[in-house]
Structures are given as C-alpha cells and as structure tokens.
Amino acid sequence: MVLKKNLSRSIRQGHPWIYRDALDARVLPDDGALVEIRTRDGRPIARGFWDERSPIAVRVLESGGPGHRFADADSLLAERLRAALDRRLERLDLSRTNVFRWVHGEGDLLPGVHVDFYADTAVARFDGDGAGAFYDPFEPRLRVAAGPRLPIRAVLDRSLRKTGAKEDEREVLENGVRFVVDLAHGQKGGLFIDQRENRVRVAGRARGKSVLNLFGYTGGFAVHAALAGALSTDTVDLARPAIEAARRNFELNDLPMDRARFHVLDAFAFLAAAIDRGDRWDIVISDPPSFAPRKDAVPAARQAYQRLHKLASAVTAPGGLLCASSCSSHFGKDDFLASIEDGARQAGRQWEFEALYGAAFDHPVLPAFPEGDYLKFAIGRVR
C-alpha cells in the first residue's frame, strides 16, 4: 500500500496509526492481514495489519528506513508479549498486587489489543475486527509468554459477554487491598487499574479526613482512604450495582460501615443538594466518565468539567483538597487544569495547583503517540 500523504516522518518516529484517507489501497486485504506500507517512490517504510471497517486502516507493528528487514510477525509478537510482562513483574509484588494491565496496546508496541490480568485470569479486548483477526490465536500466545511465572487459569475475550455467574467474579489484591471484580459485566472489570497509583496518593493524605468520592464506581478511592484512616467516606455513583459492589468491597476489607456512606445518585444532583445543606469535605475526588469521547465533543466537555469543578470546589472545606480527573485524550492538560481553576473561581474559591499525574506505570505512553496520553489526575488545595 502506498502513502498518499507525507506521513513518513510521523511513522518513523513511532506513530502507530495510519488512517484510511492517507492510503492508496487498490486491493483491499482481509481483516488482520499483514500489509507493507510504501512511500510514493516505492520505499518500504512500515508494516502493520489491516482493519477493513475502522477509520484507522492500518495499525503499525514496525517501521524502518532503507535496508530495514521486518521481523517475523510471530516472533515479534512473542517477544513483545514477554517484554511487556517483564516490565510489569519487575515492579509488582504479586503477593500484594495481582491485578494489572499486562498489555497496553500501542504503548507496548502491540497495537489494537489490551490485556488486563485479574488474580489468575487474563481478559483481552481487541480494538476492531482487524486486531481480533491478526492476533488470533491469542490465548496460546499469552500462555507461552507467561510461562511458569504467571499461572493463567483462563483467558477471556472482553467482547464476549458472559452470564454474570459466580465464576465470572474474582477477588483481587491492589497494594494489599481486597476488591471483587466482575470480569464479564463490570466496566473495566469493576476496578479502574489505571488509577492505582493515584489511589495510593490520595490515601496517603486521608488520615483523619472526611472524603467524598464522586463517580465512585466500586469504591476504589474510598476503600483505600478508609484503610488509611479516613474519618469518614461518602461514595456517590448513579449505578446501583456499582454502589452495591462498593459496599461489598468495604465489607471485604473489614472496614467500619458506620463511617462509610453510599449514595445512588447523579453526582451533579448530589453536589447541588450538598451545597444547599452546607456540607463540606476535607478531600473531594472527582473521577467522571469521559465528557469528550470525540474531538467535536470538546466544547460541551469544557462546560461540563467547569460546572463539575465549580460544584466540587463549593463542597471542599477551606484548605481541603480537590482531586480532579479526566480520562479523555481529546481534552488536553491545559484545558483540564483551566476548567478546575475557572470552576473554583465561579464558586468564589481558589484552587491552588499542587501536582498533575497520569495513568499507572502499566499504561505506558509512546512519545510519538499523544493520543495514548489520556488520563489526567490533578491535586490542588481549595482556599
């Protein structure tokens, strides 16, 4: 296939996506087929796999200049799966943390596939039919890469919904904290692995404090804070099953339930009512779903984030912490931080920036692939 646009520099620097409108494809291959990408003058520049239906027509596996010899695909996949696991295991103590992202797609040079590991089960998710076809058969590849160092009881395809039976549940450990996850139906399994390090950061400042966990899902931030000695926790989520799971996770860790409150409510409605009552918390954590899943959603997202941060600032005690998160790569860091500062100002408060963090280490980002740098977690003090 021939590049119609001058993308040679971007591809050589490591950007892993080639969109359909950038290619002159006279013959369309099958989903998952290996294709070689050439410049207009016929020089091979990259190799990747084809996706018939996605706007991202080719996900690049390997790029190279003149004289570069592309590796055997099977050997390349085997090596990259092993290397990805090596990078996790050298930093994780599996006796304390046995839930992690083994493969983070493009960030691990394995575009189009993500693998999360839960205690004894690998859960794979493929970005489109092209990735599913290219990596097939995937289970034996994972088992070979894991070897004896990571016993795998089962490999599940996240795209195949299960029944919600007990066998779909696992109890996992995150820094010694116990959580129950639902591998078939829970969003991201019931635990946002990418926030692991941020949960520890907040917990380290929670002792003796009142903590509000907005969009709390299954209580990850609240459970960590309670175990660290928080005076009280409030977990808010619109989904009743999520709140029921949060309550279960508190019980699983033998936490005193008289200091934990759970609310099945829309976060915006909860905050408005809390403001009317004059309620305040020492630490407020806001971890909403993406308000900007597409570029054209950014203007509306900017307004939504600003409104959220206005309300969250209003319920943060003077001198308390507002910890705000965004999981959209389309909503940049500068815009995100501005939405917190502007929201606080609209509430008659001031948000003093302390630090900005991203996803946990097992969600690596390629320098040439800013689209992969999606998670932002900002901590600041409200005056």
pLDDT digits (tens, 9 = 90+) for 6-23: 889 999 999 999 999 999
| pLDDT of 163 | 40
What's the whole-number average pLDDT of the chain?
95
Band of pLDDT at residue 165, cut at 50, 70 and 90: very low
2, 36, 37, 51, 128 from 23: Cα distances, Å: 6, 11, 9, 13, 19
Identify any residues that bridge with 121 across adjacent strands, giving them in sequence order: 118, 154
Q: Which domains, from first to last, does the chain contain?
A: 2-63 (2.30.130.10), 73-160 (3.30.750.80), 185-382 (3.40.50.150)
Q: Which two three-digit tokens encode residue 342?
A: 């502007």
Give helix 196-203 / helix 220-227 axis angle, nearest 10°. Answer: 40
Tell me what pLDDT residue 162 has: 46
For 124-186, the DSSP string reads EEESSHHHHHHH-SHHHHHHHHHGGGS--SEEEETTS-----GGGEEEEEETTEEEEEETTTS
Q: How far apart are CA 202 and CA 211, in angstroms?
A: 10
User: Residue 290: is its pLDDT beyond 80?
Assistant: yes
Banded model confidence at residue 164, pLDDT cuts 50, 70, 90: very low
What the block records as the tokens of 325 is 């998160």
Q: What is the mean pLDDT of residues 305-327?
A: 99
CA distances in angstroms from 259 to 98, 217, 262, 271, 282, listed in the order given: 28, 18, 10, 20, 15
Confidence of residue 228 (pLDDT cuts 50, 70, 90): very high
Nearest C-alpha neighbor of 313 from the set 262, 275, 359, 357: 275
Look at residue 166 in the predicted model and tell me its pLDDT.
53
Position 177, amino acid:
V
Strands (DSSP E) contained in the chain are 2-3, 17-19, 23-24, 34-38, 44-50, 56-63, 99-104, 113-118, 121-126, 154-157, 169-174, 177-182, 210-214, 232-237, 260-264, 281-286, 316-326, 351-357, 376-382
pLDDT tens-digit readout, 24-36: 877 789 999 999 9
Give 258's contacts (C-beta < 8 A, 6+ positions apart).
Answer: none
Give 227's DSSP letter.
H
pLDDT at 159: 67
Decide if 136 contacts 216 (C-beta within 8 A). Answer: no
d(CA 155, CA 143): 9
Q: What pLDDT score was predicted for residue 65?
A: 73
Query: ω before 137 within 30° of 0 (cis)?
Result: yes
Q: Residue 230's pLDDT band (boundaries 50, 70, 90)? A: very high
- Full-model pTM: 0.94
pLDDT tens digits for 75-124? Answer: 999 999 999 999 999 999 999 999 999 999 999 999 999 999 999 999 99
What does the pLDDT look like over 332-368, one tens digit per residue? 999 999 999 999 999 999 999 999 999 999 999 999 9
Model confidence at 188, in pLDDT bands (50, 70, 90)? low
